[in-house]
Amino acid sequence: MCGIVGFTGKQEAAPLLLDGLKKLEYRGYDSAGVAVVGQNGIQMIKTSGMIQNLCEKTQNGSLLQGFAGIGHTRWATHGAPTDVNAHPHMSNDGKFAIVHNGIIENFALLREELKQKGFVFLSETDTEVIVHLLTLYYHGDFKEAMMKTVARLEGSYAIGAVCADCPDRIFAARQFSPLILGVGIGENYFASDVTALVSHTKNVIYLEDGELAELTPGDIYLYSSTGKPIHREPTRILWDMEAAEKGGYEHFMLKEIMEQPRALKATIEPRIQNNRVVLEELEIAEETLKSVNRILITACGSAYYAGQAGKYVLEALTHIPVTTELASELRYSNPIVDEHTLLIVLSQSGETADTISALKEVKARGAKVLAIVNVVGSTIAKLADSVIYTWAGPEIAVATTKGYTTQVSVLYLFAVYCAQILQTATPQELDQMIQQILLIPQMIQRAIDLNPQIPYLAKRYHHNQSLFFIGRNVDYAVAMEGSLKLKEISYLHSEAYAAGELKHGTIALIDKDRLVVALACQEQLFDKMMSNIKEVKARGAKVLGVVPEDMRQILAEADDVLFVPKLSPMFGVPAEIVPLQLFAYYVAKENGCSIDKPRNLAKSVTVE
Ligand code: M6R
């Protein structure tokens, strides 16, 4: 939810911390701050608003002197996004400053205890208890104070801390919240994710739950929760700087839409060998797969819609019943699962709190868990029995695009892989399917090329205050994702409906002020969709049709059209969503919205 950075080295820390925070701003952007430790103790500056405000307030870091420090960009949970609630938080004596990502569940009890001991609280945050605990437990040993402090905390945290007595030392600790250490030469870093590190080093160490890290310019020491030293070799990250920057595009979202042919190629091609799907990374035995009698998919937001889209193909190819459930609902639903259930968990970030809880709940009841995740080494990747990574590269825009399409494509690959094992398709059918999957990157490029009119359509429709997305079968799943994309970045009211459901109530809302985006990409359902289009037209609505390029009959009814390439009936979703992603992008642009960082949202939702 929030982003944290830390640095210790032989150069001024503040400009480096600000640079790291800019890379993490997508994780939260309602307030920010930095604290630097130098010969004169800790200096701290924080402010509400985006990192740019902090750059101005610190004069690009020049107002803070010191070679070690910590920084934070916030997405408010406890307390409004004010200067006072922004992190870092400093101890009453000015000896410690800390930054925190996560939620301290027992903060109310700790707060009372600390108040009674005389500590003065300045903010409304749960975080502030941490810095007072450090003071309570500090008797000249920073590491000991850190260990005793984290032992008192319940909930989730990634913490960074500095101490005025140790001007070259920073500490980090984690529990259920990501934290990665960057190994430099004569300098070391930590950050919530690798995007803040890649411009400095590609050698990283993933901190595990319950561990503590002590960083000096020359060394990194890891400790278990009991203080036992741990040795872990650094891992080399494959993402490069270019992947984490805009590369000439006005927004990350547009760049990420355009990157999809490449991302899908990277995700699909290495997994197809000699015309078969080969999932070398899959750690679920064929025998186990053969014993599965139920597949449950869970996720949140767009990842859930990717699951909705994948369900059709998985069911068709495995002949096993597939249900898709929202993780936030599944976790409290007392799910009936057993060792014959396969749980598929989808998550771009691998850190979504509800998805993690649902995973744990279902796994504890005996199900096997397969995670489809983008961020290597993330919590979900670690908790699952097996992981298939989507090789989308870093996704910075809050609205997911390549994250979603790569998730769908991995579900396709997994479905075909199951069909190979379960022999639920003939060799000829499997051959054809594999050829169609290999064409997906090209189809996405074609979907981009077919629609140069989208910026003009956005000018025409951006004033519409309420939109409906309708479709049938897998088009309905795509409609849900298209609708979410539009609402989250343009702030227009938008709803997705199964086209056949409209007349059971919602059609009462249709009038001349509505725009209905009608997805009619299933040849066998095209006539049904034409009837639905006529129904809404008869009530005065404008219709933006979404159809394969050879189904131009829709022009007789629709006011405007978005074209998709002639799609493979089974594997068309990644190309079909592309014009809707672009439509959302250009409408949001017309409305002057903050596209990469929409209001009230954060990239990775690490709280319930
Ligand atoms: O990182 P995850 O895939 O687990 O995130 C799930 C949702 O929070 C995410 O897809 C969200 O709905 C996006 N903002 C949609 O664009």
Q: For ligand 1, atom 10, name the residue with the nearest CA.
A: 302
Digit-coded pLDDT (tens) for 262-289: 999 999 999 999 999 999 999 999 999 9
Measuring CA to CA, which residue among 128, 39, 124, 137 is closest to residue 91?
128
Check pocket membership of 181 for ligand 1, CB cut-off 6 A: no
Lowest mean pLDDT across 305-309, 364-368, 455-459, 498-502: 498-502
Pocket test for ligand 1, best of 256, 383, 400 (most atoms within 8 A of CB): 400
Query: What fold is seen in the domain 252-438?
Result: Rossmann fold (3.40.50)
CA-to-CA separations, 83 to 74, 125, 189, 575, in angstroms, rounded: 11, 12, 25, 44
How many percent of the chain have pLDDT more than 70? 98
Å from CA of 347 to ligand 1 middle: 7
Q: Is 345's C-beta closer than 6 angstroms to any atom of ligand 1? A: no
pLDDT confidence bin for 506, thresholds 50/70/90? confident
Fold annotation for 449-590: Rossmann fold (3.40.50)
Domain extents in the chain = 3-244, 252-438, 449-590
Residue 516: pLDDT over 70 = yes
* Backbone CA torsion sign across 342, 346, 347, 353: negative
- Fold match between domain 252-438 and domain 449-590: yes
Confidence at residue 477, expressed as pLDDT on a 0 to 100 scale: 96
Is 2 labeled as catalytic in the residue annotation?
yes
For residue 76, report the distance from its CA to the centre of ligand 1, in Å: 18
Partners of 543 in the beta sheet? 516
- Predicted TM-score (pTM) of the model is 0.81
Cβ–ligand 1 distance for 128 under 6 Å, the answer no
Q: Ligand 1: distance of its center to the CA of 400 in Å?
A: 7
Residues 145-195 have pLDDT tens digits of 999 999 999 988 999 999 999 999 999 999 988 899 999 999 999 999 888
> Is any atom of ligand 1 closer than 6 Å to the C-beta of 301?
yes
Main-chain phi, psi angles of 485, to 5 degrees: -55, -45
Residue nearest to ligand 1 atom 16, measured at CA: 399
pLDDT confidence of residue 377: 83
Say if strands 542-548 and 515-519 run parallel, antiparallel, or are unpaired.
parallel
- 92-126: pLDDT as tens digits: 999 999 999 988 989 999 999 999 999 999 998 88
Q: How many CB atoms lie within 10 A of CB 397?
A: 23
Measured from the Cα of 601, ligand 1's closest atom is: 14
**Band (607; pLDDT cuts 50, 70, 90):** low
Q: Does residue 528 have an active-site annotation?
A: no
Ligand 1 geometric centre to CA of 342 (Å): 22
Report CA-CA distances (Å) from 393 to 168, 236, 264, 304, 490.
33, 14, 10, 20, 25
Cα of 253 vs centre of ligand 1, distance in Å, is 14
Query: What CATH number labels 3-244?
Result: 3.60.20.10
**With the CA atoms of 131, 149, 214 and 163 taken in that order, what torsion angle do they form, in degrees rounded to the nearest 10?**
30
- Find out whether the beta carbon of 390 lies less than 6 Å from any atom of ligand 1: no
CA distance 34 to 72: 6
149 lines ligand 1 (CB under 6 A): no
pLDDT greater than 90 at residue 220? yes
347 ligand 1 Cβ < 6 A: yes
Q: What is the DSSP letter of 525?
A: G
Please check the confidence at residue 471 and state whether its pLDDT lies above 90. yes
Please check whether residue 325 is in contact with residue 296, taking contact to mean a CB–CB distance below 8 angstroms. Answer: yes
